[in-house]
């Protein structure tokens, strides 16, 4: 039906007992037949663009549900909107969206939903250079006084990704839009230059232990001293997608996976784990990681089974986002600056190793990288230590 001059698929109007007109989105019949829920959603928004965006997102979810079960492909109308292209990218069997890892797909979906909320109703033949420039500026400068350059750049990158699929699928209009973006430069975010220090870790661990939150202390210490990613210590919740769970921990339709378990640590306190991002196996001698080692040896032997990091409040691995929230609360109490995040422990590991004089290849191996260029992005020293070494070498040469 049309609402506010915008054609919105599957939108319905209903009159309540008191005569009030209410809006509802109804799931497509094929989705309902595949037991998609909710099949009927009340729309509280009244702005036509917001209603269109919400319905586009719900419709995309329904089509993704169908495609995952019966392989139905999105059919295009004569003048497709951006939401139509997004649905095809997320739903069609031949889309690369389905071949990326779950956590990557989750990030993609967040960005795609955000774009649909802004431009889902816009027809592709109405897009041009001025449109893209205005979109980028609107995302970057939202009127809150902050510079959202990272999200703005991510949105443009996501559009390029979707248009690339559209070209491969011979969808009309995608080549023109991709060519515009290819020949247009958008300012990129500067590289992050924050790193966690050993002093930060020691302060955090002390506060976490004081608050009886050893899981937060152990994870942070391991991330800093071994350079493991948060996902490789805490783990993540992965959709079962109809498969039987292999984990003892299941929430709804997801199971816990990829985190550090006591089976990864042998009786000589050597840690060995295949990393989730690259698949490379990393090994660490925990006896050379004093902060983490002290915490681990104090763990009762009866508890040394299953996941190493267990949320003390729930008796299971941390639910999605819970670790970050709890970590920040303890960090604030420990006096850790707001700009220092849990993710910066890994950069802190690389930076400290570099400052201590470790070779770049050793740091690369420690972090599980295949390319040293990637490792260099994590080394965030000011260069003072290196400058001192260079100056000392020159003075030694002069004094010979």
Helix axes 149-168, 102-119, angle to 10 degrees: 100
What ranges do the domains of the chain cover? 2-182, 198-231+259-391
375 φ, ψ (degrees, to nearest 5): -60, -40
pLDDT in the model for residue 72 = 47
Separation of alpha carbons 67 and 61, rounded Å: 10
Cα-based angle 136, 138, 140 (whole degrees, multiple of 5):
70
User: Which residues of the chain are modeled with pLDDT < 50?
Assistant: 72
Cα dist. 373→88, 308, 335, 370 in Å? 35, 31, 33, 9
pLDDT in the model for residue 266 = 96
Separation of alpha carbons 9 and 25, rounded Å: 8
Helix axes 102-119, 82-91, angle to 10 degrees: 160
Cα-based angle 144, 146, 149 (whole degrees, multiple of 5):
125
Token pair 């004094």 is found at: 399
Cα dist. 90→87, 94, 194, 244, 289 in Å? 5, 10, 35, 25, 44
Taking the CA of residue 86 as centre, how many other CA atoms within 13 Å lie in the half-sphere pointing to its CB? Answer: 31
Separation of alpha carbons 124 and 159, rounded Å: 12
- Nearest C-alpha neighbor of 220 from the set 305, 273, 320, 295: 295
Is the CATH number 2.60.120.10 carried by domain 198-231+259-391? Answer: no
pLDDT in the model for residue 252 = 66
């Amino acid at each position: 039906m049309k609402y506010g001059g915008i054609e919105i698929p599957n939108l319905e109007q209903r009159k309540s007992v008191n005569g009030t007109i209410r809006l509802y989105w109804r799931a497509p019949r094929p989705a309902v037949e595949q037991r998609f829920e909710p099949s009927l959603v009340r729309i509280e928004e009244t702005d036509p663009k917001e209603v269109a965006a919400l319905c586009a997102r719900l419709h995309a979810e329904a089509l993704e549900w169908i495609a995952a079960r019966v392989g139905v492909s999105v059919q295009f109308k004569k003048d497709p909107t951006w939401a139509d292209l997004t649905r095809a990218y997320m739903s069609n069997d031949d889309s690369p969206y389905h071949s990326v890892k779950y956590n990557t797909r989750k990030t993609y979906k967040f960005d795609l939903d955000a774009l649909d909320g802004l431009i889902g109703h816009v027809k592709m033949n109405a897009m041009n250079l001025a449109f893209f420039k205005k979109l980028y500026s609107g995302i970057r400068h939202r009127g809150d006084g902050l510079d959202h350059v990272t999200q703005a750049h991510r949105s443009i990158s996501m559009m390029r990704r979707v248009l690339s699929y559209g070209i491969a699928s011979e969808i009309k209009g995608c080549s023109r839009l991709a060519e515009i973006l290819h020949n247009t430069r958008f300012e990129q975010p500067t590289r992050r230059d924050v790193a966690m220090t050993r002093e930060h870790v020691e302060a955090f661990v002390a506060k976490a232990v004081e608050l009886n939150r050893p899981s937060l202390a152990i994870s942070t210490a391991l991330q800093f001293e071994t350079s493991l990613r948060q996902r490789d210590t805490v783990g993540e919740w992965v959709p079962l997608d109809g498969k039987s769970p292999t984990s003892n921990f299941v929430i709804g339709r997801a199971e816990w996976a990829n985190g550090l378990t006591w089976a990864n640590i042998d009786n000589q306190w050597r840690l060995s784990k295949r990393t989730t991002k690259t698949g490379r196996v990393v090994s660490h001698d925990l006896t050379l990681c004093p902060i983490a080692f002290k915490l681990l040896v104090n763990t009762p032997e009866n508890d040394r089974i299953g996941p190493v990091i267990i949320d003390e409040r729930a008796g299971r691995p941390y639910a999605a986002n819970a670790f970050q929230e709890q970590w920040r609360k303890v960090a604030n109490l420990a006096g850790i600056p707001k700009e220092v995040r849990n993710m910066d422990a890994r950069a802190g590991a690389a930076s400290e190793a570099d400052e201590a004089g470790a070779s770049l290849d050793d740091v690369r191996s420690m972090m599980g990288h295949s390319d040293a260029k990637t490792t260099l992005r994590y080394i965030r020293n000011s260069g003072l230590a290196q400058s001192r070494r260079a100056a000392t070498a020159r003075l030694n040469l002069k004094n010979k």
